[in-house]
Amino acid sequence: MAFKDDRERARTCQTLLNLRRMGGLWTEKGPTERAVKMMNAKEWNVLSTGERILLGVAWTVWSGGETDIPVPFSDVFYRMDDRLLKAVGSLLVASAEGSDALTEWRSVWQK
């Protein structure tokens, strides 16, 4: 993904999580302590399926794919509602197009 820096990556994670009113789990410096706790097995299970998938996607964006909780493509493709699937799909396209496209993506999905 073509992020300028960690701040841009964090803002993208916040935008993703705000789609499920979970944006407070991320700051412009990265995941909050609560987000880190949610990624452990006990906390992970208290989230709804959509929340788990979205948090997993955000964590993947943040970590560059280095995460202990992978998000299977089948979960993204088949278990996310249409709005979230469109957001994640358009994020993939924007990431291939570069930083300006990511900025545009955030402006569209922050609404």
Location of structure tokens 């493509």? 73
Full-model pTM: 0.88
Q: Which of 84, 105, 92 is nearest to 20 (CA)?
A: 84
The pLDDT of residue 93: 95
The pLDDT of residue 37: 83
What residue spans define the domains of the chain? 6-109
- Residues in the chain predicted with pLDDT less than 50, given as ranges, are none
The pLDDT of residue 48: 84
Q: Torsions phi, psi of 56, nearest 5? A: -65, -40
